[in-house]
């Protein structure tokens, strides 16, 4: 490309222009998250796995509220992952700003769809501005136009080729298809649960089921026989949490448009239901998506999630656990979405005291008022209640005995032969999980296949644009 009589190369991010000396950018994937901790972390970990496979860029899209709450940098510790924002329509307080869950989801769809379009369009325009600039400076005899605005340090130039999204936001797939992009939902829940929701959404399992006679057996392909009480509460008690039921069922509203479907489990864990669903949908198991240091240790620098929506009480939790004996602590947590009634909180509180084991209980700040009066004083010798904790470190701590929520189960897990059997089974699955993500394992192979497909498709588009 000639500029002011001198021959210069285009930016390495330039392609599809008259300059043949530039190197094409790698494939660029947009990962769209639902704004809760338990949904952001798995997608971030999956992004780390993707970029570890070779020349690939990832933009992790989070809501403005989450970005402001986390006080995030524009990049992560991984140079091939950058962070961008879009809006859920409630930038100041997130879902708490909405009057109802329905109001939040409805506005999120409207505002989220538009701001996601804006993000994709901006990325395309950045590339196009450079293409036009390079073309004009290499062919025109008149003075060249002003160059496109400079990118911020580390910002990626290439347009997106694929959108991976949380299926709580199914409209993200519709937006991807508007731009003729590949689209893939990333399911954080197990394939068994997904299969049940799929059957209900598709009309293959009639609801409501609450009036079904006790003892009635429900049979679904790839799953063991179940009673109504074995199903997720959104299905077994159909009138409970209607907004959440809509959220989980709507994940499959446009699933037929998806090019891939990623599930955060490994094949051996649920091979029967995975095999059945794979006959209907392009299912790929790619989990577990936890930091590599806890699994195969093949992703450099991947020691923790790196993003926290809440401030974890790390020192308080770990220092307390360090004073406890091996396998003597019960860990209780319901995540960032579940909301317990006051009577449920009370029953659980007294069960924890009644079992007479040490316990670490994570109770979100907004839920603390549901604890029984004087509970902290009565449980101070055995228990620790915090509003958030570094869960991976807690789960790996030698003091931890189980992760459950009712007194009978606590005693069953912590005592006797049944508890030993559960521990042996857990260790077996731990080994199989590591094998799945290690080189050549089922999850590793599925990720390799996806990345190779993206790179091949991207190379074909670059070749076609070069020859045009």
Picking from 29, 10, 41, the residue whose alpha carbon sits closest to that of residue 308 is: 41
Picking from 146, 154, 143, 133, the residue whose alpha carbon sits closest to that of residue 57 is: 154
256 Cβ contact list (under 8 Å, min separation 6): none
242 Cβ contact list (under 8 Å, min separation 6): none
Q: Residue 457: how many CB atoms within 10 A of its CB?
A: 14
Q: How far apart are CA 446 and CA 10, in angstroms?
A: 35
Q: Pick the catalytic residue: 28, 78, 166, 405? A: 166
Q: Pick the catalytic residue: 28, 39, 397, 458? A: 39
Quote the crossing angle between the two packed helices 101-139 and 171-178, to the nearest 10°: 20
Q: Residue 305: how many CB atoms within 10 A of its CB?
A: 19
CA distances from residue 279 to 196, 260, 308, 445 in whole angstroms, order as listed? 16, 13, 37, 19
Picking from 338, 189, 341, 394, the residue whose alpha carbon sits closest to that of residue 277 is: 189
Task: Look up residue 323 and give its two tokens.
Answer: 């004073």
Picking from 36, 152, 35, the residue whose alpha carbon sits closest to that of residue 87 is: 35
Answer yes or no: 199 catalytic.
Answer: no
Answer yes or no: 166 catalytic.
Answer: yes
Task: Look up residue 11 and give its two tokens.
Answer: 């930016």
The total number of residues written for the chain in this structure:
468
Q: How far apart are CA 271 and CA 287, in angstroms?
A: 13
DSSP code at position 327: T
* Cβ pair 325, 399 in contact under 8 A: yes
Tokens 């570094």 belong to 390
Q: How far apart are CA 255 and CA 273, in angstroms?
A: 17
DSSP code at position 37: H
Residues 239, 243, 249, 254, CA torsion sign: positive
Report the catalytic residues: 39, 166
């Amino acid at each position: 490309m000639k500029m002011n009589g001198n021959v210069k190369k285009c930016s390495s991010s330039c392609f599809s222009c008259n300059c043949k000396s530039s190197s094409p950018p790698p494939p660029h994937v947009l990962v769209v998250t639902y704004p809760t901790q338990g949904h952001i972390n798995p997608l971030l970990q999956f992004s780390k796995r993707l970029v570890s496979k070779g020349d690939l860029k990832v933009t992790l899209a989070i809501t403005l509220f989450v970005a402001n709450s986390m006080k995030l940098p524009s990049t992560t510790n991984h140079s091939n992952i950058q962070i961008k924002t879009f809006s859920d329509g409630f930038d100041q307080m997130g879902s708490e700003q909405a009057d109802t869950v329905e109001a939040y989801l409805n506005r999120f769809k409207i505002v989220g769809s538009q701001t996601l379009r804006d993000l994709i369009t901006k990325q395309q325009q950045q590339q196009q501005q450079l293409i036009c600039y390079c073309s004009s400076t290499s062919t025109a005899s008149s003075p060249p136009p002003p160059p496109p605005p400079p990118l911020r340090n580390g910002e990626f130039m290439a347009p997106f080729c694929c959108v991976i999204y949380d299926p709580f936001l199914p409209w993200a797939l519709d937006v991807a298809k508007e731009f003729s992009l590949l689209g893939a939902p990333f399911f954080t829940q197990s394939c068994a649960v997904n299969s049940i929701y799929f059957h209900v959404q598709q009309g293959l399992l009639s609801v409501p089921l609450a009036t079904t006679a006790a003892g009635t057996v429900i049979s679904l392909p790839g799953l063991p026989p179940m009673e109504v009480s074995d199903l997720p509460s959104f299905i077994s008690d159909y009138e409970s949490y209607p907004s959440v039921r809509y959220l989980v069922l709507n994940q499959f509203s446009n699933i037929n448009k998806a090019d891939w479907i990623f599930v955060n489990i490994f094949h051996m864990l649920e091979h029967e239901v995975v095999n059945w669903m794979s006959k209907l949908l392009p299912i790929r198991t790619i989990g577990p998506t936890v930091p590599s240091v806890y699994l195969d240790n093949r992703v450099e620098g991947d020691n923790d999630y790196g993003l926290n929506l809440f401030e974890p009480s790390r020192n308080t939790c770990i220092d307390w656990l360090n004073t406890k004996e091996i396998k003597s602590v019960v860990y209780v947590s319901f995540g960032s979405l579940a909301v317990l009634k006051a009577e449920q909180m009370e029953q659980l509180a007294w069960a924890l005291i009644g079992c007479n084991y040490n316990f670490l209980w994570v109770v979100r700040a907004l839920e603390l008022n549901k604890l029984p009066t004087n509970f902290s004083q009565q449980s101070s010798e055995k228990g620790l209640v915090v509003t958030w904790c570094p869960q991976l470190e807690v789960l790996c701590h030698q003091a931890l005995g189980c992760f459950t929520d009712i007194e009978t189960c606590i005693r069953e897990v912590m005592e006797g032969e049944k508890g030993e059997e559960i521990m042996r089974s857990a260790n077996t699955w731990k080994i199989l999980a590591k094998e799945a993500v290690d080189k050549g394992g089922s999850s590793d192979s599925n990720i390799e296949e996806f990345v190779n497909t993206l790179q091949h498709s991207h190379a074909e588009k670059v070749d076609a644009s070069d020859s045009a």
